[in-house]
Amino acid sequence: MSIKREDAENIARLAKLQISDDQLEKITGDLSNILSLVDQLQAADTSNIEPMAHPMDAVQRLRPDQVTETNNREAFQKIAPATEEGLYLVPKVIE
């Protein structure tokens, strides 16, 4: 698929890009090449290919779920301006 100069100008206008006439010819060719590559990729038969999340079958390493800090809830509750039944009270901002 090839793109005409007018199409490239329209794309640039819609994207609010300022492109000089010198650059417009190069960009028109580049966009045509990109669309040709997409056409080639779409022609590939992928009906027997299982979708995958990562091409390397990578597994995310997770850290062990361990408590690493002490519980300071009581200390924080004592210095809070207002608490009630273990909850922090804040000023009402929506009426």
Helix (H, G, I), strand (E, B) or coil at 87: strand
Its pTM surpasses 0.95:
no
Is the pLDDT score of 85 beyond 80? Answer: yes
- Mean pLDDT to the nearest integer, 27-54: 90
Question: How many Cβ atoms are within 10 Å of 83's Cβ, its own excluded?
Answer: 13
How confident is the model at residue 58, as a pLDDT?
Answer: 75
Tracing tokens 């009906």 back to the chain, one arrives at: 47
What distance in Å separates the CA atoms of residue 31 and residue 54, rounded to the nearest whole number? 27
